[in-house]
Amino acid sequence: MSYNLLKGKRGIITGALDENSIAWKVAEKAHEEGATFVLTNAPIAMRMGEINALAEKTNSVIIPADATSIEDLTHLFTESQEVLGGKIDFVLHSIGMSVNIRKKIPYAESNYEYFHKGIDVSALSFHKMLAVAKKLDAINEWGSVVALTYMAAQRVFPFYTDMADIKSMLESIARSFGYQYGLDKKVRINTISQSPTKTTAGTGIKGFGDFFDYADAIAPLGNASAEDCANYCVSLFSDFTRMVTMQNLFHDGGYSNTGVSDAILKKLGL
């Protein structure tokens, strides 16, 4: 069912790699809710070509951009305003990549070149995106920017290795930039801390399947799906959340506030 929550709003959605991507679901939902938007991803991800189907389905234009490149981001924000016919109302940052995780390198043995790459792609890209948008004055007043994060920023999940530190930085950027952009232009910036979700980035993590089931058994509502996350993103892009900014918002079926669950105790035979 559609509520036209984003009718007349213009957006930029990063990170839709395939139909499992959280960003893919966000694009489908935003389209359903009346938004027009540009889809973007790293040029290398474009080669897989799956994003074309999403663009067709949502009547969107694709503008490739490596989120670590100021030049690409400047082109993205300039062209997007051109294509969409005005300033941007919402932006989704749905970008994450750790070479240390990919290569299954234990946290204490992190390769620092890979660590730097992870920081640049997954956290600094958010700062760069916001800095470029602010410089170009590309986002409308009361616009909304959302980035996706994970609870390993607050608590230890050993398999998340360097991404835990990187997500802490991402969440901090949301607060720091949220203050600046809020004061200057009333632009809101938040992070959504999402449940484990079966996507390319998610399932690349060692032991992800077991952990997915564990989290599902702890959370009283179970894990939040990518579709649920898309709904939450849409609500944050809408005018119904105008005074929400600089927050890290847990979207995890109650996992973050549950110590232990009956289901887990039962599994342990207690």
Residues near ligand NAD, by CB under 6 A:
14-15, 17, 21-23, 41-42, 45, 66-68, 94-97, 121, 148-150, 194, 196-197, 199-202
**3-state secondary structure (DSSP) of residue 144:** strand
**Closer CB to ligand NAD, 144 or 149, in the complex:** 149
Give the nearest distance from C-beta 24 to ligand NAD in angstroms. Answer: 7
Q: Nearest-CA neighbor of 196 among 209, 178, 177?
A: 209
Chain position carrying tokens 């074309």: 52
**Closer CB to ligand NAD, 14 or 80, in the complex:** 14
Give the nearest distance from C-beta 179 to ligand NAD in angstroms. Answer: 22
Give the nearest distance from C-beta 64 to ligand NAD in angstroms. Answer: 9
Alpha helices by DSSP H, listed for the chain, are 22-32, 43-46, 51-57, 70-84, 99-102, 112-119, 125-136, 161-185, 200-203, 208-218, 226-237, 262-267
**Closer CB to ligand NAD, 104 or 242, in the complex:** 104
Q: Nearest-CA neighbor of 98 among 149, 42, 161?
A: 161
Give the nearest distance from C-beta 156 to ligand NAD in angstroms. Answer: 16
**How would you class 158 by CB atoms within 10 Å of its CB: exposed for 0-12, middle for 13-18, buried for 19 or more?**
exposed
